[in-house]
């Protein structure tokens, strides 16, 4: 299923906090307050650390693949 990642803390996105999607060979500048959706089951990912003295929080939401399979077979 989908994974939604939202960093609610304030930090300078030019100094870190980038989202790395390894399979796609992408590094995405990821400012606070932005939400990105991706299939975390299929896409290996990580975050680049932010600057010293700052804390990055993450609000992660996901949906289990079992819910989608349950829907497909008619509940």
The pTM assigned to this predicted structure is: 0.71
pLDDT tens, N- to C-terminus, the chain (75 residues): 688 999 888 888 899 989 999 999 999 998 888 999 988 888 888 988 888 888 878 888 887 778 888 888 988
Is residue 14 within 8 A of residue 29, CB to CB? The reply is: yes
Distances (CA, A) of 35 to 6, 11, 27, 58, 68: 5, 15, 15, 10, 22
Residue 35 burial (10 A CB sphere; 0-12, 13-18, 19+):
exposed
């Amino acid at each position: 299923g989908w994974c939604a990642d939202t960093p609610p803390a304030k930090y300078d996105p030019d100094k870190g906090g980038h989202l790395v999607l390894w399979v796609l060979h992408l590094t995405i500048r990821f400012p606070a307050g932005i939400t990105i959706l991706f299939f975390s089951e299929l896409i290996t990912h990580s975050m680049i650390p932010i600057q010293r003295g700052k804390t990055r929080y993450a609000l992660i939401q996901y949906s289990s693949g079992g819910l989608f399979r349950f829907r497909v077979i008619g509940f």
